[in-house]
Chains A and B, each alone.
Chain A
Amino acid sequence: MPNWLIRPSIQALTVFVILCALLIGIAWLFKPVIFALLVSFTLYALLEPVGNQMTGRGISPASSASIILCLLVCISAISTLIGFPKLLDGVMAIQQKLTVLKSTLHEWLEKLQFLLERSGIQFDKSGFNQYLQDSNTELNLDVIIQGSNILLDISGTLLLVPFIVFFLLRDYKSSRNRLLSMLPNEYFEMGWSIYYRVARQLQGYIKGVIIQTSILGGVATTGFFLAGFESAIMLGVFAGLFGIIPYLGPILALMPPIMMAMSIQPFDIYYVWAAVTVIGVAYVFDNLVVIPTIIANAVDLHPFVVIVGVIIFGSMFGIVGTILALPIMATSKILLVGLYQGFSQRASVIRHYAETS
């Protein structure tokens, strides 16, 4: 075997590529339920300490999983009953506002054309008008079809998630132990060491992100409510959710309130400034207070790597890609560094023995 093939970096890279290929294969195999699996693992990461506490008190894993499942179903049902009608009202309000927004944009275009023509610049707004008209005719049918598809997906996911969480709480540890017991003796400690680091980091990240999102959403909702926005809760929820996307989140979070502000009749610049201020204050608070105290240690990546990664994952997998970019990159880093350190140590130990004996 050539010498370069047994270098720790090559060995680490080979194992890393094989692991990535395996994970991509598994993700492809479970594609129809991948969203449900991601939600279930997120919930498992949050509920696992509760399960640990219960098993620690002598309750069997199956019983503790059943109790948690019942609680989960009850909480989901109550929050759906209370929150879903409000969210639906918000969506309906936005739908109505969209037509107003289009007429506002139309008026602005006319003003812009007038101003440009007075300055001697030719401007043809017919293309944009046509686009607005097309989207208007397609809007109702598309919204109904897309809305019903999303609702069906969400219902399917909601039905699957509690069952997957139940089995994860009951069997995840034993299945994991069985799987990792297949590691050869010489790589047993390295495998577990990397697994624990990845698990700890992902668990910390998920918990941190949920707390961060809740705080961000809460601050934004309060701000929108005080500024006098309609659907303040829904705008706050959007602001919180976009907070998951690193660096690009504030720009995306700004879009719904700006659209809402532009659709208010008669047009008032106060609402545009209010939207910018609320999002600005919420994200400054998030970046200065929440992130450093809650999720600063969860990921240790250079900002440039994060931005490039988010853009690449976003262009490949859309909004889901931007959300998953950070945990995937952080996990990859731990895997690569852990494998490289493990193989390097082994190589140096073997070299030392070869020299001394």
Chain B
Amino acid sequence: MDNPKSPLWHNFFRKKPQLDEHIADLWLKTPLFNKISRKHCRILVPEMHIRQYQDGEIVFHQGEMGIGAALILSGHVDITAHHKNLARLEAGDFFGEVALVVDEPRTANAIAVGPTELIFFLRQNLDELTDRYPVDGARLMRNLARILATRLRLSNEAIGLQESIETPTLRVPDSKESNNA
């Protein structure tokens, strides 16, 4: 077994199949990789990028360009925007998937809580998946569209809720409510 504390004797060229299997398992449990072939996911894992973060280190800033999604291997990540904490994510959760689709600035901040290890799935990896396995590429794109649509619906609901609290008299009743009335 590799000893991580002895880099001098560490075999850099030895493959880490167990870690790759574990990472593939984690990705396959996410809605992003829903119904994606395990074999194809396993082939992609060595091309993904593992990064280590210290407690409080910024993973990315809101407003910076992003090029991929990240999966938490260990530790926690806080997602914040406009000085509000939106969520605390844990191992097995993923974030930053918007950057897989568009070349736009990040919509929130991501900050590591405690020592955290992430694995990045970049847009290039998605392109490679689509080139090599078009069926799985299309599935992943559909999953991505579903995730983004859900996020949009939740955001709309949150905005609607906030508006109804702030200005209750301006709320337009929907068709069901007006029929009941």
Using a CB–CB cutoff of 8 Å, the interface residues on chain A facing chain B are: 49, 52-53, 55-56, 58, 173-174, 177-178, 180-181, 185-186, 188-190, 192-193, 196, 341-342, 345-346, 348-349, 352-353, 356-357
Q: What A residues does B67 contact at CB under 8 A?
A: 189, 192-193, 196
CB of B64 within 8 Å of the partner chain: yes
Given known A-B contacts A56-B132, A177-B47, A356-B83, A189 and B124 have beta carbons under 8 A apart: no
Q: Across the two chains, which residue of chain A brings its CB closest to B52?
A: A185
Given known A-B contacts A177-B47, A193-B65, A345 and B105 have beta carbons under 8 A apart: yes
Pairwise interchain contact B59-A173, C-beta atoms closer than 8 A: no
Q: What A residues does B64 contact at CB under 8 A?
A: 189, 345-346, 349
What is the CB-to-nearest-CB distance from A260 to chain B, in angstroms, rounded to a whole number?
45
Q: What B residues does A56 contact at CB under 8 A?
A: 40, 43, 132-133
- Per-residue CB contact flags for chain B residues 42-81 toward chain A (1 = under 8 Å, else 0) read 0100110111010001111111111110000000000000
Q: Is the interface of A mostly helix, strand, loop or mixed?
A: helix
Q: Is the interface of B mostly helix, strand, loop or mixed?
A: mixed
Pairwise interchain contact A349-B49, C-beta atoms closer than 8 A: no
Task: Output the residue of A53, A178, A181, A349 with the most chain B CB within 10 A.
Answer: A349
Number of A-B contacts (CB under 8 A): 65
Q: Which of B12, B43, B51, B105 contacts A188 (CB 8 A)?
A: B51
CB of B157 within 8 Å of the partner chain: no
Pairwise interchain contact A342-B65, C-beta atoms closer than 8 A: yes
What is the CB-to-nearest-CB distance from A196 to chain B, in angstroms, rounded to a whole number?
5
CB of B24 within 8 Å of the partner chain: no
What is the CB-to-nearest-CB distance from B175 to chain A, in angstroms, rounded to a whole number?
41
Cα separation A341 to B63 with both chains bound (whole Å):
12
CB of B122 within 8 Å of the partner chain: yes
What is the CB-to-nearest-CB distance from B104 to chain A, in angstroms, rounded to a whole number?
12
Given known A-B contacts A56-B132, A356-B83, A349 and B63 have beta carbons under 8 A apart: yes
Cα separation A57 to B115 with both chains bound (whole Å):
37
What is the CB-to-nearest-CB distance from A175 to chain B, in angstroms, rounded to a whole number?
11
What is the CB-to-nearest-CB distance from A293 to chain B, in angstroms, rounded to a whole number?
21
Pairwise interchain contact B61-A349, C-beta atoms closer than 8 A: yes
Q: What A residues does B57 contact at CB under 8 A?
A: 185
Q: What A residues does B66 contact at CB under 8 A?
A: 189
Q: Across the two chains, which residue of chain A brings its CB closest to B123?
A: A196
B window 102-147: CB within 8 A of A: 105, 120, 122-124, 128, 131-133
